[in-house]
Amino acid sequence: MKKRAVITGIGVISSIGTGKEQFLRGLKACVSGVKSVPYFDTSNYRTHQGAIITGFNKDRYVMADGTIEKEPGNVLGLWAAKEAVLDAKLQMDTVDKKRVEVSIATSLGSIASKDQFNNAFLKSGYGTADPLLMFETCSTTAGVIAKEYGCQGCAISISTACAAGTNSIGYALDLIRKGECDVVIAGGSDPFSRLSLSGFDSLQSTTKKNIALFDQNRDGIIIGEAAAIMVIEELDFAKARNVPIYGEVLGYGISNDAYHTTSPDPKGGGPFGQSPRRLKTLVLHRRRSII
């Protein structure tokens, strides 16, 4: 019998709200997190806006060992993970840390550090650029979260562009179903940076106007910064801890149409080419008791 995976903790840091309650209120009130980009001059870009987090110290995180983390993507992930762990009432000193794993999604990871290095290099030459900035990688966010909570299971980074967050939760489901762990800290974190905006701008996928969801005359997207982390546990493990359960992860699907770097196959050869057995979706049940 397959083991079951349930969600016991949620942490969100976003442009429409910090914390799950504020984030939910923002969703219900249709709050827009879109603002003028404050980090650099955007006059040469198609868009001058982004989903920017305000009213929250996203520039630093003091780790349990006293060190200070400043990489934006890592800081957002650490804050969201802290909220999720507190929400799940997960006391790390009471669990087997070898059975706690980390699965974090990111599209661009610690690209802000690369941007800092690049700016210093272009301005004053190699000698002024901190070489340690180049050691920050896409896997760093998973690593710092694992370090912060002493997780000794795997700490994996999933970078599958826009699908990464869902894939990280799906991977957590696989780990729990196989009995490889009791708990997975899973989710995603991405910062806003000059390089990320440049990438989307070079594809001409950013809007020249205001974002217009579901409008047939829309001309592009607006990117942002955020982190959302969940604590996902094996059902019996969560029941033994006697903690509230938000819902159950029943399945997920992943496919590739092998067509183009950014454009989908117009014939639907990826997802629609899969058998019905493969077309599972991520289902989050409404909060209820699971017996």
Amino acid at 137: T
Intra-chain end-to-end CA distance of the chain, in Å:
15
Confidence of residue 59 (pLDDT cuts 50, 70, 90): confident
Q: What is the pLDDT, as a whole number, of residue 268? A: 75
Instruction: Please say whether the beta carbons of 195 and 111 come within 8 A.
Output: yes
* Residue 157 β-bridge partners: 104
Confidence of residue 78 (pLDDT cuts 50, 70, 90): very high
Mean pLDDT of the chain: 85
More confident residue, 246 or 257: 246
Distance CA 86, CA 88 (A): 5
Instruction: Give me the residue label for tokens 């016991």.
Output: 8
Q: What is the pLDDT, as a whole number, of residue 89? A: 97
Distance CA 59, CA 116 (A): 14
Residue-wise pLDDT tens digits, 3-40: 999 999 999 999 999 999 999 999 999 999 999 999 98
Confidence of residue 284 (pLDDT cuts 50, 70, 90): very low
pTM of the model as a whole: 0.85
Answer whether residue 113 shows pLDDT above 70. no
Distance CA 106, CA 72 (A): 12
Highest-confidence range of 90-99, 118-127, 129-138, 252-261, by mean pLDDT?
90-99
Instruction: Give me the residue label for tokens 């454009």.
Output: 263
Which residues, in sequence order, are CB contacts of 276 under 8 Å at separation 6+? Answer: none
Instruction: Please say whether the beta carbons of 73 and 141 come within 8 A.
Output: yes
Cα torsion 285, 164, 34, 201: sign: negative
More confident residue, 258 or 197: 197
Tokens representing 285?
A: 């049940």
